[in-house]
Structure 1
Amino acid sequence: MEFACHMSNFSLPLLLRAPTPAQSSLTFCEANPRDLKRWISRLPKANLGEMARQLYQGLTELSQLITPSENRLQLLELLRPEVYFVCKHLERHFLNQAIVLDERPRKVANLCQALQNHLATGYKQIIQQVAARYTKDQAGLFSTALQRALHGLNGPLIRANQLYCPVQEGLWLELHQIYQIARQYQLHNTPVDEPLAHHTKALSVEQTYVIALLMGCSRCNQMRQLNIGKLADALEAWSPLVRLQSPAGEHSLFALDPTVDKPPLYSTLFSDEQSSRLLGINTHSLAEAINQYLALPDDQRSPSRLLIPTGINTDLLQHLAAAWGDVAERTFQRTAGQGTLKLCIGMSALHFYVAGQKSFSELLQLNSTSSAANFSLKIANDDEDDPWASAFDTQRGKSSSVLLPYEEIEYPKNDGDNDSLSNGQHTFPTFDLNIVNHSPGGYCLAWQKEVPQQLQAGELVGIQDDSGQGWSIAIVRWVRQVRSGGTQMGIELIAPFAQPCGMQLIREQQNSQYLRTLMLPEVRAMEKPPTVLAPRLPFQEGNKVMINVGGEERRASLSNRRISSASYNQFEYQIYNAPKAAESEKAKPGQEFDSLWGTL
C-alpha cells in the first residue's frame, strides 16, 4: 500500500510503503518482548522451511499490530537476527545456480526478498509514526529505525544484483527518502549499534545508505555472482571513505535525484539545470585507497589503511577501482540489430570449434603412449659371492618379456586419465541468440530459451555469424534479466579469429601437462601486440612455457597480463628462436645460472 504523509516541518512527502496497523493483538504470542523471546526460542531452526513460514506469518501480523513505536522496535530487534539467519541459510538454493532459476529456487529467492521487505516495513512504520511528532528525546529510537530500514532494504537490493534481476520498483526511491529524512533531522551521521555487521560495531544511516549506493554503481552485471556477495560484505568497512555532497560538487563522480526511483548515475549524465537538487557521491578516496593497496607488494599489504576481507581478490579490486575511479566512456556507438549469432561457451568449447572440431590430442599431434605395463629387474647387490646366485630361478632375464612370456598386462585408459588432452569425439553445445544491438566492439544478445548454467560475467565465448565462416573470440561483459522476461547479455569482441594451440608450464622438475590456449593476432591499428589466452592456473607473468601449434613446439615467455577473469588470463608473449631440446625440457643442473655467465 502506498502511504503518503505531509508534515509541516518536513520538506519532502513520506513515500514509504507500509500498511496502516488495524489489529490489537498477535495470534502467535503476546505483543511484548518477553513472550516473543519465548516464541523465538521454539522456532524449528533445524527445519528452515517451517522456520521461514512462521517468521513470514509473524512479520505479516506484526505489520498489522497497533502498538507504540518503542514496543514495535523491541519486537523487530528480536526478530531481525532470525530473519537474517534464515535468509543466509536459504541462499544455497538459488545462488551459484543457472542464471535463470527454476521454479523452486526462484520461489525460495522470492521468499527471502519478502522476509526482508516485511522486516523493513516494520521499521518504516516507526519512521512514519515518529516523524510526525518528533522530539529530540526520540533521537535514539528514530536513528535506529532509519538505519534498520535502510539495512533491511539493502538485502533485496544485493540479492537482485546477485541474481542479475531488476531491482523491485520503488526500492531506490525509498532508500533515497529514508536518507533524506535522516538528513533533515541531522541524524544521518549518528552511529547506531549494528550486531549484524561483520567489520564494524556500528553503522550510521549515511554509511548504510552508501552501501546501497556503491552497490548501484559497481557494475555488478559485469561481476560473477560469488564476487557480488563478497563486495556487499566489504562495503561495511569501505563506506566511511565515500563522501556524499548536497548539492553535487565537481568532485562527485556519481549523482542521483532523491525524488526519482533510480540508482546513482555518472554526474555528467545530468544537465546543469538538475544540479541544484542532486545528491553527489565522491568515490575518489575509496578508489585511491584500492589503487594504493594494489600497488603494494604482497608482503606489505597487511598494514594497508583499507580493510580487505577474506575472499576479495585482485581481479575484483581492479574492477572496483575502475568502476569508482573514472567515467567509463563507450568506445563505439550501438546500432539496433537483427538476425542471430551462433555462440559457444567456455575455453574448451571455443578451442574445439576454432580448431575445426578436432580433439586436443589430435591438434597437438602428440604420440599416443602405450599403456602396457613393462617391468624390469633391478639387481640390489651384483656380487659374485652372492649365495643365491646359483639358484635355479635367478637367471631368467631382466625384462618383462622374459618374466611374463605368456601374457601381457594392458591397463585400459580412462577418459579422465589425462583431462587436459581429452575430448576425443566429444562435442560441445552451441546456441542461436538474437541480436538486440551491436557495435564494432561487441553485441547485446538475447536468450530466448533456457540459459546454460556455465554462463557468467567474465566467461569466454565464441561467436559465428550466419555465414558459418570461422569463430570470433569474445568475453561476456554483463548479464541481466529484463522486466519483460528473458535474459540479455553484453559481449565484447577480443579478436576476429584465433590460433588454437596447447601450452605447458616449463618447470625445473617436470613440465605441466599441455592445456588448451588460444593465440590472438596483433592489432596494429589499436597498438595491441599478439597475445595468448590461457587458463587462470598455472600460468603467471614471467613464466617460461612451451607452446604447441599443430605439433610444432616452441619455447616462449609470458609477459604483461592484459586481461584477467575468474576463468582465464590474457598475456603478451615472446617466442624464443632457439629450437626445442630433442629429448626433454627438464632443467639441467646449473640451468638457472645460464643467463649469468655472459655478464661475469
Structure 2
Amino acid sequence: MDPQLVDTQPASVAAWLDRLPYTDLAECGKLLGQGLYHLGRTPLDPMQRYKLLKLYLKALDRYYPLLENESLHGDALATPKTRLLAVISVKLFANLFLAFKQTLNDKLARHALLEREQPKVELLLYTMMAARQYLNISQQNYCPLSDGFWLDCHQLYALAEQNGWLDKAQAGDDALAVIYRQILLLGLTATNRLSPADQQLTRQLAYDLARQVELLPAAQLAEPRQGYVLDLQTDAPPRFLPLKPSAEPSSRYLLELAPALGSMRRSLEQLRKTANGAASAVLNNEVQLLGGLLEEWQHPRRRKHGREDAQQMAEVIAGIAGIWHRVNGDSWRPAGADDDEDSARLRPPPSPILMSVVNQSASGYLLRGLPREQPLRAGETLLLAPPDNPADSQLCAVRWVLMQPSGQEVECGVEILGPAPRPVLAMPSITHSGDSFQRGLCLNADQDRPALLLLPGRPFSQLREFRLRDGCGEQMVRVSKLHQQSPHFQLMEYRASDQF
C-alpha cells in the first residue's frame, strides 16, 4: 500500500477502529493486523505512531477477550475455521510487536539535546509486553515464532540493562526485568506438547516464578556449571549447556532456576497432599503437569534415537473412537453382539487422512499434512498405516504438534505404542447409576510388553477392576500399573483379576 494512503489522523483512526466487526473474530483480526502492518511501515514521527498504536491497544482490549473466550471452547487445530483464526491472531500480534519495535528504534535514533527519557522507557515497556503477548499467542496456537524474535528480546533486555531501566514498569504490570524472565521461562517449555488447559497453567506458573529467576554472567561464575544458558547475541531461547567461565563471552548468561525449582517442589508436595484426599481430576492434572515441568526444567528431553529421512505416505486415524471403529471392521457394532439401535444411529467417524512421513526413528515418526476433521492434538492417539497395507498398522501417540505458517498443514511427532490394537468394551466392576460400557483398545502381551488397556480420560486408580468384553466373551481384569497418560487417554497394564 502507498504510505500516503495510510490513515495517520488519530480521530479518523479511532473512528475506524470503533466500527470494526468485533463479533467476526477472523475478519476483525485480519483488519487489525493489516492496519498494524501498514502503520509500522509508514514513515512517521515516532511519537505520532506511538499515539496511533495506543489507539490500537484500546481496540485490542476489546478484541482480545472475545478471542480468548473462543480459544477456551475449542482446539486451535481442530477445524479449518479454527486454524484460520489461529494464523490470523498470530499475525496480528506479530505485527503489533513489530510496530512497537519500529517505533522504539525510530525514537532511539533521534538524538536531541533535551530529549526526555520517559517516552523511550514507555516504548520499551510496550515493546516487551507486545513480545510477551506474541509469544503467548504463538504457543497457544501451536505456531512457530518468526525468525529474529529471540534476538530482538535479548537486545531489548540489553538496552534496558545498559540504560538502568530494568526496574521500570507500567502501572499494573511487571517490571522490564520480570517480563524478560517470563519470556525466558516460557521459552524453556515445549508447549506444543501440552493441551490448551495445561498451557494456561504453565503460563501462569512462568509469570509467578519469574521474580525468583536470576541471570548470572557466565564469565563471572566461580566454577564450571551446567544449566540453561542464553546468549544476547544469538537468535535462540535458553539452551541447556555446560559452562566454563574462563571461556565464556560477556554476552552469555546462566539462567539460575534454583529458587524457582524450590518453590515448585514445595507447591508439588502440597498439591499431592491435597490430591490424595480428594477425587479431583483437576488437582491430579495439576500434579502431573507440575511434576513434568519440574523434571523438564532440571533435565531437558534429549532425543534418544537418530532420525532418518523418509519419503512415503501414511493413512492416519486420530482419536480412540475413530480407531476403535476402524479396527472393529469399520463398524460400531461390537463383535458377537446383535444389531442394536444405538449402534445403527451412530454416524461414522471422519474419514482417514493421508499424511507425509517426513522422517522416522526406532521410536516414532514425523508427520506432515492437512488434518481436515481428524483431531490431531498433543496427547491424542492415532492409528498409522501404509495405504497399501493396512495390516501393518501401528498404534501411536501424538507427542507434539506445530502448525505451519500458512495454517494449512500441521506437523506432529508421534511415538509408537505398539501394533494395531483390538477393540474392546470396558466398564468398572463397581458402577454408578448411568454407567455403561465404553470403547477401549487392547494391546496383547508379547515378549517386550505386558498386556495394555487404553481408555479415554485420566481416571487411573491402582488395582481398579474392569469388566472387559470383546468378541471372545467377557472377563474381569485389574489394572496394575499406569503405563502412559495424557489429557486424552490412559494406557494401563492389566492382568486377569484371579491373578491378584
Q: TM-score range by the shorter chain?
A: 0.7 to 0.9
Provide the C-alpha distance between the structure 2 equivalents of 1:311 and 1:133, rounded to a whole number of angstroms: 58
Provide the C-alpha distance between the structure 2 equivalents of 1:476 and 1:270, rounded to a whole number of angstroms: 38
> Is the counterpart of residue 256 in structure 1 residue 230 in structure 2?
yes
Q: CA deviation at 1:257?
A: 2.4
8 Å contact from structure 1 (residues 231, 312) kept in 2: no
Output one character per residue of 1:424-474: Cα deviation in whole Å (capped at 9) or x when no partner. Answer: xx4652233222111110011221x45435111111011123543242211
Partner of 2:378: 457
- SS of match in other structure, 1:98: coil
Q: CA deviation at 1:294?
A: 3.2
Partner of 2:351: 429
8 Å contact from structure 1 (residues 210, 242) kept in 2: yes
Q: Pick which of 54-63 and 256-265 moved more.
A: 54-63
8 Å contact from structure 2 (residues 383, 420) kept in 1: no
- SS of match in other structure, 2:487: coil
> Is the counterpart of residue 96 in structure 1 residue 75 in structure 2?
yes
- SS of match in other structure, 1:352: helix
Provide the C-alpha distance between the structure 1 equivalents of 2:360 and 2:20, rounded to a whole number of angstroms: 50
8 Å contact from structure 2 (residues 87, 405) kept in 1: no
Provide the C-alpha distance between the structure 2 equivalents of 1:530 and 1:270, rounded to a whole number of angstroms: 48
Partner of 2:278: none
Match for residue 490 of structure 1 among 413, 422, 429: 413
> Is the counterpart of residue 347 in structure 1 residue 326 in structure 2?
no
Provide the C-alpha distance between the structure 1 equivalents of 2:459 and 2:11, rounded to a whole number of angstroms: 59
Provide the C-alpha distance between the structure 2 equivalents of 1:464 and 1:328, rounded to a whole number of angstroms: 28
8 Å contact from structure 1 (residues 254, 267) kept in 2: yes
Q: Which has the higher helix share?
A: 2
8 Å contact from structure 1 (residues 287, 320) kept in 2: no
8 Å contact from structure 1 (residues 354, 500) kept in 2: yes
Q: Which has the higher strand share?
A: 2
Letter of the structure 2 residue corresponding to residue 267 of structure 1:
L
Provide the C-alpha distance between the structure 2 equivalents of 1:67 and 1:209, rounded to a whole number of angstroms: 24
Query: CA 1:312/1:267 → structure 2, altered by over 3 Å: closer, same or farther?
Result: same
8 Å contact from structure 1 (residues 119, 152) kept in 2: no
Partner of 2:101: 121
Provide the C-alpha distance between the structure 2 equivalents of 1:126 and 1:311, rounded to a whole number of angstroms: 50
Provide the C-alpha distance between the structure 2 equivalents of 1:435 and 1:104, rounded to a whole number of angstroms: 24
Provide the C-alpha distance between the structure 1 equivalents of 2:61 and 2:226, rounded to a whole number of angstroms: 34
Q: CA deviation at 1:105?
A: 3.0
> Is the counterpart of residue 205 in structure 1 residue 176 in structure 2?
yes
Q: CA deviation at 1:523?
A: 6.2
| Residues 230-249 of structure 1: pairs in structure 2 closer than 5 A | 230-247=201-218
Provide the C-alpha distance between the structure 1 equivalents of 2:17 and 2:192, rounded to a whole number of angstroms: 40
| Residues 320-399 of structure 1: pairs in structure 2 closer than 5 A | 320-359=293-332, 361-363=333-335, 365-366=336-337
Query: CA 1:176/1:427 → structure 2, altered by over 3 Å: closer, same or farther?
Result: closer
Letter of the structure 2 residue corresponding to residue 85 of structure 1:
R
> Is the counterpart of residue 27 in structure 1 residue 9 in structure 2?
yes
Partner of 1:198: none
> Is the counterpart of residue 83 in structure 1 residue 63 in structure 2?
no
Q: State the percentage of identical aligned residues.
A: 18
8 Å contact from structure 2 (residues 90, 138) kept in 1: no
- SS of match in other structure, 2:64: helix
Provide the C-alpha distance between the structure 2 equivalents of 1:310 and 1:78, rounded to a whole number of angstroms: 41
Q: CA deviation at 1:239?
A: 1.5
8 Å contact from structure 1 (residues 93, 108) kept in 2: no
Partner of 1:535: 456
Match for residue 362 of structure 2 among 430, 440, 444: 440
8 Å contact from structure 1 (residues 247, 280) kept in 2: yes
Partner of 1:219: 190
Provide the C-alpha distance between the structure 2 equivalents of 1:133 and 1:283, rounded to a whole number of angstroms: 41
Match for residue 267 of structure 1 among 241, 245, 261: 241
> Is the counterpart of residue 192 in structure 1 residue 169 in structure 2?
yes
8 Å contact from structure 2 (residues 318, 374) kept in 1: no
Output one character per residue of 1:472-502: Cα deviation in whole Å (capped at 9) or x when no partner. Answer: 2110111224569843221101123434322
Output one character per residue of 1:320-357: Cα deviation in whole Å (capped at 9) or x when no partner. Answer: 23332212122211112232222211111222333444
Q: Pick which of 484-493 and 333-342 moved more.
A: 484-493
Q: Pick which of 47-56 and 284-293 moved more.
A: 47-56
Provide the C-alpha distance between the structure 2 equivalents of 1:194 and 1:205, rounded to a whole number of angstroms: 12
Provide the C-alpha distance between the structure 2 equivalents of 1:162 and 1:176, rounded to a whole number of angstroms: 22
Query: CA 1:82/1:428 → structure 2, altered by over 3 Å: closer, same or farther?
Result: closer
Query: CA 1:534/1:106 → structure 2, altered by over 3 Å: closer, same or farther?
Result: closer
Match for residue 260 of structure 2 among 286, 308, 317: 286
The alignment covers a number of residue pairs equal to 480
- SS of match in other structure, 1:432: strand
Query: CA 1:294/1:521 → structure 2, altered by over 3 Å: closer, same or farther?
Result: farther
Provide the C-alpha distance between the structure 2 equivalents of 1:488 and 1:210, rounded to a whole number of angstroms: 29
> Is the counterpart of residue 183 in structure 1 residue 161 in structure 2?
yes
- SS of match in other structure, 1:336: strand
Structure 1 unaligned regions, length at least 5: 1-20, 31-35, 196-201, 302-308, 370-412, 580-600
TM-score by length of 2: 0.79
Provide the C-alpha distance between the structure 2 equivalents of 1:85 and 1:231, rounded to a whole number of angstroms: 25
TM-score by length of 1: 0.67
Partner of 2:493: 572
Q: Pick which of 73-82 and 172-181 moved more.
A: 73-82
Query: CA 1:246/1:77 → structure 2, altered by over 3 Å: closer, same or farther?
Result: farther
Letter of the structure 2 residue corresponding to residue 172 of structure 1:
W
Q: CA deviation at 1:217?
A: 2.2
Q: CA deviation at 1:150?
A: 1.0
Letter of the structure 2 residue corresponding to residue 237 of structure 1:
D
Match for residue 548 of structure 1 among 458, 464, 469: 469
Query: CA 1:310/1:550 → structure 2, altered by over 3 Å: closer, same or farther?
Result: closer
Structure 2 unaligned regions, length at least 5: 276-281
- SS of match in other structure, 1:87: helix
Q: Pick which of 265-274 and 499-508 moved more.
A: 265-274
Letter of the structure 2 residue corresponding to residue 506 of structure 1:
S
Letter of the structure 2 residue corresponding to residue 66 of structure 1:
D
8 Å contact from structure 1 (residues 555, 578) kept in 2: no
Q: CA deviation at 1:551?
A: 4.3
Q: CA deviation at 1:512?
A: 2.5
- SS of match in other structure, 1:215: helix
> Is the counterpart of residue 228 in structure 1 residue 227 in structure 2?
no
Partner of 1:145: 123
Q: Pick which of 426-435 and 256-265 moved more.
A: 426-435
Letter of the structure 2 residue corresponding to residue 28 of structure 1:
P
Query: CA 1:312/1:191 → structure 2, altered by over 3 Å: closer, same or farther?
Result: farther
Q: Which runs of 4+ in 1 moved over 6 A?
A: 49-52, 71-75, 92-95, 133-137, 269-272, 309-312
Q: CA deviation at 1:234?
A: 4.1
Provide the C-alpha distance between the structure 1 equivalents of 2:155 and 2:292, rounded to a whole number of angstroms: 30
Query: CA 1:368/1:29 → structure 2, altered by over 3 Å: closer, same or farther?
Result: closer
8 Å contact from structure 1 (residues 221, 479) kept in 2: yes
Provide the C-alpha distance between the structure 2 equivalents of 1:368 and 1:72, rounded to a whole number of angstroms: 69
Letter of the structure 1 residue corresponding to residue 45 of structure 2:
I
Q: CA deviation at 1:536?
A: 0.6
